[in-house]
């Protein structure tokens, strides 16, 4: 279900074979590489992370649109049950003639100054992403053209803070915007036969309608009882609902205290180990389209931990580092 592989054993087609054998994810053991990436991307005091920055700096560093998959720079996404993070995202590409790795955006605003990632760090991220991409392509198949995606995602340690940030984002909208948020929440609650696009839209519109609303909500409750992909244990709160990543693959490492990523395999949710020793790799929809590798349904939960809160490092607590390709 979840396989393990040493980084030194990554070779063309090695990930493709494991995913083709039915594994939902592969843990690539590489503690030294993760330590270097973590140090360069999260422990450089010269870089102000977006969750440490004033809101205006986040806005100045935002390069995107309504398409979450295409957005770059500093990202602030809080929608109940759908998204719940502050992030910084770069897309790396390499010039075919000169071999130079470059990043978009090339720099990040910090007050009256700016921060530009070092070239050695960009080269290292490209090397890791490129090696994983070659291992994802079936043996004998050259990897498709790709960019390496580097994303740092910050989740909140306190469950109540998710609700506060949700309210901040929602209440900054006008009346119709807030109505749209409420409709989206209803749509995401649609389960079973009501969950496909179109039917979920219809459910969102009808769920609060007079007369017919109670009936469609009753149908949805019946579907929820049969939909194993909606199961949650006590003390868990859904932060990012079940979804497929669009990119070729996602490789995750991080420091987790209250957050849990799960993959859906064999009809049940399986905890995905995410730590500072391995890259937890799973395929996305682009791998399905290009190589026939099945994409993996996954979600992110907040987990209440018993006992007093541990004082840690707010810069890196519950932060995930993602290396991917698209």
Average predicted confidence (pLDDT) for the chain: 92
- Structural domain containing residue 198: 173-230
Which pLDDT value is given to residue 53?
Answer: 96
Dihedral sign for Cα 242, 243, 248, 250, please. negative
Q: Are residues 59 and 151 located together in one domain of the fold?
A: yes
Q: What is the pTM of this model?
A: 0.93
User: Of the residues 230, 259, 279, which one is the last residue of a structural domain?
Assistant: 230
- Mean pLDDT confidence for 170-174: 91
Residue 248 lies in a domain: no
DSSP state string for 240-304: EEEE--SSSEEEEEEE-SSEEEEEEETTEEEE----SSEEEEEE-HHHHHHH-PPP--EEEEEE-
Q: Are residues 112 and 213 located together in one domain of the fold?
A: no
- Mean pLDDT confidence for 149-159: 94
Q: Are residues 150 and 190 located together in one domain of the fold?
A: no
User: Of the residues 156, 185, 211, which one is the last residue of a structural domain?
Assistant: 156
> For the chain, how many structural domains are there in total?
2
| More confident site: 98 or 265 | 265
Q: Are residues 108 and 53 located together in one domain of the fold?
A: yes
Q: Are residues 184 and 113 located together in one domain of the fold?
A: no
Q: Are residues 147 and 202 located together in one domain of the fold?
A: no
Q: Are residues 148 and 205 located together in one domain of the fold?
A: no
Residue 55 lies in a domain: yes
Residue 217 lies in a domain: yes
């Amino acid at each position: 279900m979840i396989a393990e592989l040493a980084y030194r054993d990554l070779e063309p087609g090695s990930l493709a074979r494991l995913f083709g054998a039915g594994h939902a994810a592969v843990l690539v053991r590489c503690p030294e590489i993760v330590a270097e990436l973590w140090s360069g991307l999260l422990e450089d005091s010269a870089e102000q992370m977006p969750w440490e920055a004033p809101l205006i700096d986040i806005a100045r560093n935002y390069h995107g649109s309504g398409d979450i998959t295409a957005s770059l720079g500093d990202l602030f996404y809080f929608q109940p049950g759908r998204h719940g993070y502050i992030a910084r995202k770069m897309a790396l590409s390499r010039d075919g003639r000169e071999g130079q790795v470059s990043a978009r955006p090339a720099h990040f605003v910090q007050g009256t100054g700016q921060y530009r990632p070092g070239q050695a760090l960009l080269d290292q991220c490209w090397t890791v992403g490129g090696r994983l991409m070659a291992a994802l392509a079936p043996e004998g198949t050259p990897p498709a053209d790709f960019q390496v995606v580097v994303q740092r995602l910050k989740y909140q340690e306190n469950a109540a803070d998710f609700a506060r940030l949700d309210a901040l984002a929602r209440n900054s909208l006008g009346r119709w915007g807030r109505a749209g948020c409420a409709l989206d929440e209803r749509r995401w609650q649609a389960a079973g036969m009501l969950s496909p696009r179109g039917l979920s839209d219809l459910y969102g519109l009808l769920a609060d309608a007079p007369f017919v609303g109670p009936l469609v909500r009753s149908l949805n409750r019946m579907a929820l009882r049969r939909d194993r992909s909606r199961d949650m244990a006590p003390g868990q709160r859904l932060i990012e609902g079940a979804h497929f990543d669009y990119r070729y693959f996602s490789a995750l490492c991080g420091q987790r205290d209250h957050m849990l990523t799960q993959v859906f395999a064999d009809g049940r949710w399986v905890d995905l180990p995410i730590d500072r020793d391995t890259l937890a790799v799973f395929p996305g929809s682009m791998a399905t389209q290009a190589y026939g590798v099945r994409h993996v349904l996954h979600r992110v939960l907040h987990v209440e931990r018993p006992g007093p809160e541990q004082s840690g490092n707010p810069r890196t607590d519950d932060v995930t580092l993602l290396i991917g390709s698209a």
